[in-house]
Structure 1
Amino acid sequence: MKILISGGNGNIGSYLTTSLSDEHQIYSFSKDDFDVTDKVKIYDIICKIYPDIILHTAAITDVDYCEANESLAYSTNTLGTLNIASMCYKFNIPLVYISTSYVYGDHKSLPYVETDICDPINIFGKTKLEGENLIRTLLNNFFIIRTSWIIDSYKCSILKMLDNPSPIVLCSLEKTNVTSMKDLSFFINTIIKTDNYGIYNLSSEDYSSKYDIVNRLLKSKGFDKRILELPEKLLEDIATRPKCCAISSKKSKDTFSIALRTLDDIIVKL
């Protein structure tokens, strides 16, 4: 299968570029070569490749940066997605879109399911939800994957924290799942061989607070590091986080007969 990956040098895109290359013909592009805000450039590239499917991972994912740069966040995350979806519509190409649990907002204390109301409370969540809505308006053949905290990719924030000798500062104690890039890659490779299009959550089976997750990780790896808990109200220019952004992946598990790992299962394999 010919697969075009946007955001190929990003956190998710770089992992998928490597992990899917054994089975598929991968065309992976960084922003310099495939700027999703440049309609002419992406049109020319898609015309040359004519991929069987597009994995759209290009996005600004730094939540606080999005909050401070709202226009740029919308330009990349929303309008960039519109450009990709428009090309998929024009050439009848299925689309895989990586979204986020932050689209749900902050109105539940239990894990969200795909049919729950989406009412995001920060710019990142809003721009990703608008991207989802544009895809759903334009296309029928799409997979929207809502993920949680990715903790085991090449460039993920938690691994950078472990490499840094300074104490770990957590400015948000929201309850969340984690998502393993290995699991996400396997899931994508599974769903693109089907026509079970739609919206799917994908995360670990269970969930906990970020503080607890990081503590488990430190204990598992034998790191002697301190975690500083800072209430959000003490920090300026920070995006609001939901108290609970945990998601249920039961639909994914049942539809595609996949196993979901627990938090500890994923942490042990890091």
Structure 2
Amino acid sequence: MKILISGSNGNIGSYLTTSLSDEHQIYSFSKSDFDVTNKSQICDVICKTTPDIILHTAAITDVDYCESNESLAYSTNTLGTLNIASMCYKFNIPIVYISTSYVYGDYKSSPYVETDICDPINIYGKTKLEGENLIRTLLNNFFIIRTSWIIDANKCSILKMLDNPSPIVLCSLEKTNVTSIKDLSYFINTIIKTDNYGIYNLSSEDYSSKYDIVTHLLKNKRFDKNILKLPEKLLVNTAKRPSFSAINSTKAKDTFSIPLRRLDDIILEL
């Protein structure tokens, strides 16, 4: 299968470029060659590569940066997705769109399912949800994958925390689960061989607080590093985070007969 991947210099895009290349013909592009805000460039690249499917991973994913750069966030995450979706419509190409659990918002205390109302509380979540809505309006052949806290890749936020000499500062309240990028790659490689289009959550089976997740990881990796556990009201100049953002991935598990791993199993292999 010929697969075009946007955002090849990002965490997810770079991993998928490598992990899927053994089985598929990959055309992977960074912003310099495939700027999602440049519709004519997108059209030229798609016409030259004639992909069977597009994996759209290009996005601004820094939640705080999105909050303070709203126009740029919408331009990249929303309008950029519109440009990709328009080309998919024009050339009848299925799309895989990587979304986020932050599209749901902050109104439940149990894991969100795909049919729950989406009411995001920060700019990042809003721009990604608008991208989803545009895809759903224009296309029938789409996979929207809502991920949780992405870990298990060289550029993931948790490993960046470990590499940074500064103490780790985490909100004491936020509970979530994680999405292993290895599991995400396996899931994508499974679903693109089917026509079971739709929206799917993908995460670990269980959830915990971000503080406990990172503490467990530090213990497992034997890192001597301080974690500052702060209440949300003391985290100034940052975007709002939901106090509970865990997602339920039963639909993905049942539809594609894939196993869902627990947090402990994912952390142990890091």
TM-score category (smaller protein): over 0.9
Cα deviations across residues 96-134 of structure 1 (Å, max 9, x unaligned)? 000000000001000000000000000000000000000
How far is the alpha carbon of 1:223 from its aligned partner?
1.4
Deviates more, 1:14-23 or 1:147-156: 147-156
Partner letter of residue 186 of structure 1? Y
Q: Tell whether 2:14 aligns with 1:3.
A: no
Taking the aligned partners of 1:172 and 1:64, their CA distance within structure 2 comes to: 18
How far is the alpha carbon of 1:233 from its aligned partner?
2.2
Taking the aligned partners of 1:163 and 1:240, their CA distance within structure 2 comes to: 25
Pairs aligned (count): 270
Note the 1:227-242 alignment, pairs <5 A.
227-242=227-242
Task: Indicate the residue corresponding to 1:168 in structure 2.
Answer: 168
Q: Tell whether 2:250 aligns with 1:263.
A: no
Deviates more, 1:107-116 or 1:150-159: 150-159
Deviates more, 1:230-239 or 1:26-35: 230-239
Task: Indicate the residue corresponding to 1:142 in structure 2.
Answer: 142
TM-score by length of 2: 0.98
Task: Indicate the residue corresponding to 2:245 in structure 1.
Answer: 245
1:232/1:238 contact within 8 Å kept: no
How far is the alpha carbon of 1:172 from its aligned partner?
5.8
Where structure 2 has 5 or more consecutive residues not aligned to the other structure, the ranges are: none
Task: Indicate the residue corresponding to 1:206 in structure 2.
Answer: 206
Where structure 1 has 5 or more consecutive residues not aligned to the other structure, the ranges are: none
Taking the aligned partners of 1:160 and 1:122, their CA distance within structure 2 comes to: 22
Identity, % of aligned positions: 86
Taking the aligned partners of 2:148 and 2:114, their CA distance within structure 1 comes to: 13
Task: Indicate the residue corresponding to 1:50 in structure 2.
Answer: 50
Task: Indicate the residue corresponding to 1:98 in structure 2.
Answer: 98
What RMSD, in angstroms, separates the aligned Cα atoms of the two structures?
0.9
Taking the aligned partners of 1:72 and 1:29, their CA distance within structure 2 comes to: 20
Cα deviations across residues 58-98 of structure 1 (Å, max 9, x unaligned)? 00000000000000000000000000000000000000000
Note the 1:119-134 alignment, pairs <5 A.
119-134=119-134
TM-score by length of 1: 0.98
Task: Indicate the residue corresponding to 2:158 in structure 1.
Answer: 158
2:100/2:128 contact within 8 Å kept: yes
Task: Indicate the residue corresponding to 2:219 in structure 1.
Answer: 219
Taking the aligned partners of 1:171 and 1:204, their CA distance within structure 2 comes to: 20
2:173/2:232 contact within 8 Å kept: no
How far is the alpha carbon of 1:236 from its aligned partner?
2.8
2:171/2:211 contact within 8 Å kept: no
Partner letter of residue 182 of structure 1? K
2:2/2:53 contact within 8 Å kept: yes
Partner letter of residue 24 of structure 2? H
